[in-house]
């Protein structure tokens, strides 16, 4: 089966600084794939390169069989790829409803495009906050709004950059539930997450990124059992 997304030898960076030195990875339709690694290894750059906001120096990005390597971020979003950035980038002066209505213009006309009724049925916190401005929301509510905004834009492939960063443990659990709801709704997820335990609890497969390259691929169960790889590249331990 042809992968939904395929990265072949992707090299990219900023200015003269190389960040990615040849990334190879695939994401199949319906999967949750986690990209994990220490800070500064190129996880966010990988997502931005897929989206087209960072131009790759070499390699190919293929989405649903189409070479999208040279497309910009607007054209990529129109094909059904959505990015929820770490900083969320909601509009603080607009209400929850206005943020979602604005996101519904443009984007991609995919079968996974969600309307506002679906969002408010799925995201109970947002339903209760429809008329609140973005700046009035908690960090967790802002994260949910950022995810919902990508869904009303028609994301078939939802890329999440550090969705639980800075959130309280109880809110992390709710965000995880939202990601599971998104997956169960048939939307494919590529997840960058510094919290390795969260990433592996959500993922079907995981890639470990180090020094700008994929150094390991495994199922969550395999990675948890691989103490050497986990300690060497992720700096965590799953030992009791």
As a whole number of angstroms, the distance between CA 190 and CA 54 comes to: 17
Q: Encoding tokens for residue 21?
A: 């030195």
Q: Which range marks the domain in which residue 185 is found? A: 5-43+52-234
DSSP at 40 = T
The CATH number linked to 228 is: 3.40.50.300
Residue 239 domain-assigned (yes or no)? no
Residue 171 has pLDDT above 60, yes or no: yes
Q: Encoding tokens for residue 62?
A: 């293929």
Residue 240 has pLDDT above 60, yes or no: no
Residue 153 domain-assigned (yes or no)? yes
As a whole number of angstroms, the distance between CA 133 and CA 142 comes to: 10
Q: For the chain, what is the domain count?
A: 1
Residue 102 domain-assigned (yes or no)? yes
Per residue in 28-40, pLDDT tens? 999 999 999 998 8
Residue 214 domain-assigned (yes or no)? yes
| pTM recorded for the entire structure | 0.90
Residue with structure tokens 């079907």? 204
Residue 94 domain-assigned (yes or no)? yes
Residue 240 domain-assigned (yes or no)? no
Q: Encoding tokens for residue 239?
A: 């030992």
Residue 186 domain-assigned (yes or no)? yes
Q: What is the mean pLDDT of residues 4-13?
A: 97
- Report the candidate in 76, 19, 24 with the shortest Cα–Cα distance to residue 43: 19
pLDDT at res. 107 = 62
As a whole number of angstroms, the distance between CA 88 and CA 81 comes to: 16
């Amino acid at each position: 089966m042809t992968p939904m997304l395929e990265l072949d030898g992707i090299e990219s960076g900023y200015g003269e600084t190389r960040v990615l030195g040849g990334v190879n990875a695939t994401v199949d339709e319906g999967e949750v794939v986690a990209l994990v690694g220490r800070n500064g290894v190129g996880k966010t750059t990988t997502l931005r390169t897929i989206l087209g906001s960072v131009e790759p120096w070499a390699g190919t990005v293929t989405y649903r069989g189409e070479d999208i390597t040279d497309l910009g971020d607007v054209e990529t979003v129109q094909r059904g790829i959505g990015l929820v950035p770490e900083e969320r980038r909601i509009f603080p002066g607009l209400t929850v409803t206005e943020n979602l209505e604005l996101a519904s213009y443009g984007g991609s006309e995919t079968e996974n495009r969600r309307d506002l009724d679906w969002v408010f049925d799925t995201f109970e916190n947002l339903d209760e906050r429809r008329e609140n401005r973005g700046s009035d929301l908690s960090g967790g509510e802002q994260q949910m709004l950022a995810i919902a905004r990508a869904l009303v834009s028609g994301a078939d492939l939802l890329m999440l950059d550090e969705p639980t960063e800075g959130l309280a443990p109880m809110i992390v659990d709710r965000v995880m539930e939202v990601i599971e709801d998104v997956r169960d709704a048939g939307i494919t997820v590529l997840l960058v997450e510094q919290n390795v335990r969260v990433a592996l609890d959500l993922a079907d497969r995981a890639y470990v990124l180090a020094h700008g390259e994929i150094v390991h691929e495994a199922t969550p169960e395999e990675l948890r059992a691989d103490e050497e790889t986990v300690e060497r590249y992720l700096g965590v331990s799953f030992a009791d």
